[in-house]
Amino acid sequence: MQRPKKPTHVTVTRFIASILPLKENDVPRLYHAPRSPRYDPETAMIDQIVLSVTPTPGVYSHIAHLADEAWVDRVDTALRARQPRTLCFLHRPFNLDRRSVRRGTLVLSSHTSFDELLTVGWNIALAERLAMNVNDSVCVQGYKGDPERRIGIVGRVSMSRDLLLSHIKQEFGEAELAHEGLSDEIHAVAIMNAFHEDEVQRVLEMALTHGWAAAEDDAPGKHVLYLTGQARVGGLEAAKALGMTVACVGHRPAEDWGIRHLAAQLRTTFPAVHVEEIYEEEEPRVKQTKEPKKL
């Protein structure tokens, strides 16, 4: 039986772009590329893919030079014989220490597109996992002066509030019931990357338009669950006034969901590659200052 072929830098980059399309206001997709004149992304093979929200000690243990004393102790001994050819994906790459990245390692990134499509926003995959009728859903679009920015999805469900909250906790590992709405039956879910009064009103209007909420109810949002990251005072007060249920999963857990989903897609598509997920807090490296020369 023939073994699956190792993918190249170009192959994996194109696959990630199919999930996270390039956006004009995003960070560079090729955040750190090898500079060797012999580097060819069409032929550069990959043994492992490392994914993380930010560059962390665990990330550097897979992508740093073995000679880099700050990370050498963290590298698995089995990798010392031959360092695996590695591609790294970072959601927030801003503090990456490029000088520590091993020669031949490609670092890909997506910030805006990842936030939009793989956290609590226009996240089709998450909506389907929460049993939303995606074919009958609505996109919440336009935010902070960008009319094209998709910040959420609103769609129909038919589920008890407790069961839906249980599904949300299974997806994110945690979820805060920021406000228990005025009905234990949920007819619509809004997965939103923003939580202010304006967004709450937009969600209600969409639910009313599609018949998932009733304007004549004393609390017209009582059958709507608003799922977001961080709780915001203005949004929470607006949701309470409408009788909505609000579930907040936190900013970082929402990002971690995206990393898990992307890693699962990569494992399925590239079975010959080892996929490693890193979940830990970033520890920025402290630059050592040179001592002044003695006279």
pLDDT for 287: 54
CATH fold of 9-113+257-278: 3.40.1390
Tell me the pLDDT tens digit for each residue of 223-242. Answer: 999 999 999 999 999 999 99
Which pLDDT band holds residue 253 (cuts at 50, 70, 90)? very high
pLDDT for 69: 47
pLDDT for 264: 98
Whether residue 185 contacts residue 224, with contact meaning beta carbons closer than 8 Å, is answered with no
Residue 258, pLDDT above cutoff 70: yes
Residues 199 and 151: their CA atoms lie apart, in Å, by 9
Q: How confident is the model over 174-181, as a mean pLDDT?
A: 90
Within 8 A by CB and 6+ apart from 284, the residues are 95
The predicted model scores a pTM of 0.89
Residue 281, pLDDT above cutoff 90: no
* Angle subtended at Cα 76 by Cα 74 and Cα 275, rounded to the nearest 5 degrees: 105
DSSP secondary-structure letter at 118? H
CATH superfamily ID and name for 121-248: NIF3 (NGG1p interacting factor 3)-like (3.40.1390.30)
Strand order through the sheet with 48-52: 30-32, 106-109, 86-90, 48-52, 274-278
Residues 213 and 195: their CA atoms lie apart, in Å, by 19
Q: How confident is the model over 108-121, as a mean pLDDT?
A: 97
pLDDT for 174: 82
Domain ranges of the chain: 9-113+257-278, 121-248
Q: Is the dihedral of CA 46, 47, 53, 54 positive or negative?
A: negative
pLDDT for 79: 45
Two domains, one topology: 9-113+257-278 and 121-248 = yes
pLDDT for 104: 94
CB atoms within 10 A of CB 189: 30
Tell me the pLDDT tens digit for each residue of 122-155. Answer: 999 999 999 999 999 999 999 888 888 899 999 9
pLDDT for 284: 59
Percent of all residues in the chain with a pLDDT value above 90, rounded to a whole number: 80
Whether residue 193 contacts residue 140, with contact meaning beta carbons closer than 8 Å, is answered with no
Which pLDDT band holds residue 49 (cuts at 50, 70, 90)? very high
Q: Of 283, 288, 251, which is closest to residue 60 (Cα–Cα)?
A: 283
pLDDT for 72: 47
CB atoms within 10 A of CB 199: 24
